[in-house]
Amino acid sequence: MRLTIGMAAALMALGLAHAASAQEAEEGQKLFKRVCFTCHTAEAGKNKIGPSLFGVVGRKAGSEPGFSYSSAMKEADVTWDEATIDKYLTDPRKFVPGNKMAYAGLKKAEERKEVIAYLKTLH
């Protein structure tokens, strides 16, 4: 099979995107340890003040077993994906009014993107 220039460029772009995503996840893990780890874990089934964030991407809000959620979070019609996590991390109290998370939000878009990239690796 012969690679065309277009195919080679597409493969190269894919590789660069994967490298950028891996770098974002690595930076996100550092941010998680600095900002989130006080209240959350990245371990399955291990809750702290906040629920475990292992497997959070794709999970319905308020559904981590063994965690005592606020009524607001249990009743929120939200499934966590990149967009909903981004909105939540921007301003948790505004996105789900009445939730128990005391954190004011992660204001820098690039930092939210990095944390989300890391959360996507937790499965």
Here the CATH number for the domain that contains residue 55 is 1.10.760.10
Are 82 and 105 a contacting pair, CB within 8 Å? Answer: no
User: What does the pLDDT read at residue 100?
Assistant: 94
Task: Judge contact between 59 and 44, C-beta under 8 A.
Answer: no
Q: Please tell me the predicted confidence (pLDDT) of residue 5.
A: 72
- Expressed as residue numbers, the domain containing 95 is 25-119
pLDDT value of position 16: 46
Q: Give domain status of residue 10, yes or no.
A: no
Domain-located, residue 38:
yes
Query: How far is residue 74's CA from residue 67's CA, in Å, rounded to a whole number?
Result: 11
CA distance 96 to 7: 44
Domain for residue 43, yes or no?
yes
Does residue 81 fall inside a structural domain?
yes
Phi, psi dihedral angles at 31 (to 5 degrees): -65, -45
Residue 7 lies in a domain: no
Q: Whole-angstrom distance between the N-terminal and C-terminal Cα of the chain?
A: 36
Which pLDDT does position 42 carry in this prediction? Answer: 98
The pLDDT value given to residue 15: 57
- Mean pLDDT in consecutive groups of 10 residues from the start of the chain, 123 residues: 61 54 95 96 97 98 97 97 98 96 95 98 96
* DSSP 3-state of 121: coil
Number of domains in the chain: 1
Is residue 91, in this structure, part of any structural domain at all? yes
Q: Determine, yes or no, domain membership for 15.
A: no
The predicted pLDDT at position 3 comes to 59
Contact 119, 56 (CB under 8 A): yes
Report which residue type is found at 65.
P
CB atoms within 10 A of CB 50: 18
d(CA 78, CA 58): 10
Residue 12 lies in a domain: no
